């Protein structure tokens, strides 16, 4: 053990910033960190897991919010071991065995892997973990029974998820850390904060970088309806459901282009923005009665000429069946040009109050009936949660974002795509 302490101590000292070191050396058995994005706490988690295996002499399990997050953490661990010149005895996907016999396992939202695990557990980006309550109930009792250590790390999301329930509790057993982007900068962490501000509206910036969760109490579509419809785009479960085989979306696209399998009809929803608002583009496919949002893109402060070129590129693809676009206001010229070039594919929609009500209601019903799947994308989820339903003096309901800086653009893009995906408007594609 002394050998590993002598090896790790100088490496940690020269590698970590003060806020990272403070979290690492916290000896508490129950730790939780409400942290800013992009400040290297997953990097710190990798060092902590190595220390836990060598110095605390316990196996280490890291449960991440997505497969991509899990792979990032494992890459950090491999990088640390390489810098320390420590060669694992076993190194395979999601699993490293170290000299001495202890192992580090990394998985994405799989509580079955954790059942019966003996050692320390890290819940990484726990606020964005799908079915967080189930994971907590399945894992924590077995870990605490063997005196394992529990560490919870996340950027906050809402005030109703399990992560915020733990962080805001008055329980004295938790050692709590809150690290905003401002705290990290004060400790010398190099980041251009003004550049980051330009990428987000104030509410999203506060949630992503200042540790303030979204207020979702009055959301038209509450988080408890959204959570069961989330998926991890990189997970095997998603690939098996969507493609009926072990293929992810990228692999499927190459297969489609090579003619080895039938085209997957795609429906796009586009909400146009130019200066204040972003242009949001939802890409969807329908399978066995469920509309899958395969991706959500956004273009900020993008010239209309560039937007037109990009949308034309989408329309030229043989897999594009329908592109539904906001044709009101600033979207009028784009709609006219696109519909002239591709009249069979382009559908223009004016966001009149009655239309917005129909779209919003259809979206809520899809979540209630679990007939929609969306990627576990914090920005998309925040746009959906931002929509509020209010009645005006004429007893007509309006649907608008609580944010002063965006209008829930991604919500409306997805609503447009969903509207043209459902019913008999397109073929409900079943793989053969």
Q: What is the CATH number of the domain that holds 323?
A: 3.30.420.240
Q: In the structure encoding, which two tokens stand for residue 325, read together?
A: 């676009």
Cα distances from 148 to residues 151, 178, 355, in angstroms, run: 10, 23, 54
Q: Is the domain of 186 the same as that of 260?
A: no
Dihedral angle computed from the Cα positions of residues 333, 334, 340 and 343, in that order, rounded to the nearest 10 degrees: -130
Is 10 domain-assigned? yes
266-271 and 279-287 strand pairing: antiparallel
Is 217 domain-assigned? no
Q: Is the domain of 204 the same as that of 330?
A: no
Q: Give the model's pLDDT for residue 73.
A: 93
CB neighbour class for 58 (10 Å; exposed up to 12, middle 13-18, buried from 19): middle
Under-70 pLDDT residues of the chain: 1-2, 109-116, 142, 215-217, 234-263, 274-277, 391-407, 423-432
Q: Is the domain of 31 the same as that of 135?
A: yes
Phi, psi of 99, rounded to the nearest 5 degrees: -55, 135
SS3 337: helix
Q: Give the model's pLDDT for residue 115.
A: 62
Do residues 214 and 70 make contact, with C-beta atoms less than 8 angstroms apart? no
231-290 pLDDT, tens digit each: 887 664 555 555 443 334 444 444 434 444 456 789 999 998 755 568 899 999 998 889
Cα distances from 58 to residues 53, 119, 271, in angstroms, run: 5, 5, 51
Is 429 domain-assigned? no
Residue 403 exposure: Cα atoms within 13 Å on the Cβ side = 26
SS3 251: helix
Which of 98, 96, 147, 155 lies closest to 121 in space, CA to CA? 147
Is 241 domain-assigned? yes
d(CA 123, CA 153): 6
350-371 pLDDT, tens digit each: 888 888 899 999 999 999 999 9
Question: What is the 3-state composition of the chain as percent helix, strand, coil, each rounded to the nearest 5?
Answer: 45, 20, 35
SS3 306: helix
Q: Which of 187, 209, 231 is the last residue of a domain?
A: 209
Which residue range is the domain that position 350 belongs to?
Answer: 223-421
Q: Is the domain of 323 the same as that of 389?
A: yes
Q: Is the domain of 236 the same as that of 370?
A: yes
Is 167 domain-assigned? yes
Do residues 372 and 291 make contact, with C-beta atoms less than 8 angstroms apart? yes
Is 192 domain-assigned? yes
Dihedral angle computed from the Cα positions of residues 103, 106, 107 and 111, in that order, rounded to the nearest 10 degrees: 50
For residue 319, give the DSSP letter. T
Q: Is the domain of 265 the same as that of 383?
A: yes
Q: Is the domain of 395 the same as that of 264?
A: yes
d(CA 239, CA 224): 24
Q: Is the domain of 354 the same as that of 397?
A: yes
d(CA 120, CA 109): 16
Q: Which of 185, 209, 233 is the last residue of a domain?
A: 209
Q: Which of 180, 209, 238 is the last residue of a domain?
A: 209
Q: Is the domain of 138 the same as that of 262?
A: no
Q: Is the domain of 53 the same as that of 188?
A: yes
Q: How many domains does the chain have?
A: 2
Is 282 domain-assigned? yes
Task: Give the CATH number, domain containing residue 64.
Answer: 3.40.50.300
Give the start-end residues of each E strand in 224-362. Answer: 230-231, 266-271, 279-287, 290-299, 320-326, 346-349
Q: Give the model's pLDDT for residue 274.
A: 55
DSSP class per residue in 359-383: HHHHHHHHHHTT-EEEE--HHHHHH
Phi, psi of 368, rounded to the nearest 5 degrees: -60, -40
Q: Which residues contact 25 (CB under 8 A, 6 or more apart)?
A: none
Q: Is the domain of 132 the same as that of 238?
A: no
Is 416 domain-assigned? yes
d(CA 230, CA 374): 5
| Phi-psi domain of 318 (left: phi exceeds 0; alpha: psi -120 through 50; beta: other) | alpha
Question: Which strands sit side by side in the sheet containing 30-35, from one edge to the other?
Answer: 90-92, 95-97, 103-108, 59-64, 119-124, 150-154, 30-35, 175-179
Q: Is the domain of 151 the same as that of 108?
A: yes
Q: Which residues contact 258 (CB under 8 A, 6 or more apart)?
A: none
Q: Give the model's pLDDT for residue 300.
A: 82
């Amino acid at each position: 053990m002394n050998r590993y302490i002598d090896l790790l101590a100088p490496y940690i000292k020269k590698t970590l910033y003060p806020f990272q070191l403070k979290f690492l050396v916290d000896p508490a058995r129950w730790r939780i960190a409400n942290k800013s994005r992009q400040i290297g706490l997953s990097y710190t988690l990798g060092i902590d897991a190595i220390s836990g295996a060598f110095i605390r002499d316990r196996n280490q399990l890291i449960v991440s919010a997505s497969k991509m997050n899990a792979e990032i953490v494992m890459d950090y661990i491999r990088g640390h071991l390489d810098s320390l010149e420590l060669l694992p005895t076993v190194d395979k996907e999601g699993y490293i065995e170290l000299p001495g016999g202890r192992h580090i396992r990394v998985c994405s939202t799989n509580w079955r892997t954790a059942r019966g695990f003996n050692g320390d557990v890290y819940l990484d980006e726990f606020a964005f973990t799908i079915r967080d309550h189930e994971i907590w109930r399945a894992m924590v009792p077995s870990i605490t029974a063997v005196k394992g250590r529990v560490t919870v790390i996340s950027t906050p999301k809402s005030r109703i998820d399990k992560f915020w329930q733990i962080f805001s509790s008055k329980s004295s057993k938790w050692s709590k850390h809150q690290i905003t982007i401002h705290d990290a900068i004060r400790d010398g962490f190099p980041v251009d904060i003004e550049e980051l501000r330009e990428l987000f509206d104030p509410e999203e910036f506060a949630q992503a970088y200042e540790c303030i969760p979204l207020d979702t109490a009055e959301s038209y579509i509450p988080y408890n309806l959204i959570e069961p419809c989330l998926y991890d785009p990189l997970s095997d479960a998603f690939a098996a459901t969507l493609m009926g085989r072990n293929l992810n979306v990228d692999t499927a696209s190459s297969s489609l282009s090579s003619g080895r399998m039938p085209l997957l009809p795609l429906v796009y929803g586009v909400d146009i923005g130019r200066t204040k608002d972003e242009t949001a583009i939802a890409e969807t496919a329908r399978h066995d009665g469920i509309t899958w949002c395969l991706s959500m893109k956004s273009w900020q402060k993008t010239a209309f000429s560039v937007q037109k070129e990009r949308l034309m590129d989408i329309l030229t693809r043989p897999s594009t069946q329908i592109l539904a676009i906001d044709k009101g206001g600033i979207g009028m010229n784009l709609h006219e040009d696109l519909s002239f070039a591709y009249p069979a594919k382009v559908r223009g929609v004016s966001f009149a109050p009655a239309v917005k009500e129909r779209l919003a209601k259809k979206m809520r019903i899809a979540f209630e009936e679990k007939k929609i799947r969306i990627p576990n994308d914090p920005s998309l989820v925040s746009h959906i949660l931002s929509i509020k339903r209010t009645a005006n003096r004429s007893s007509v309901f309006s649907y608008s974002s609580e944010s002063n800086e965006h209008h829930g653009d991604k919500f409306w893009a997805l609503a447009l795509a969903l509207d043209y995906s459902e019913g008999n408007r397109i073929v409900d594609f079943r793989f053969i």
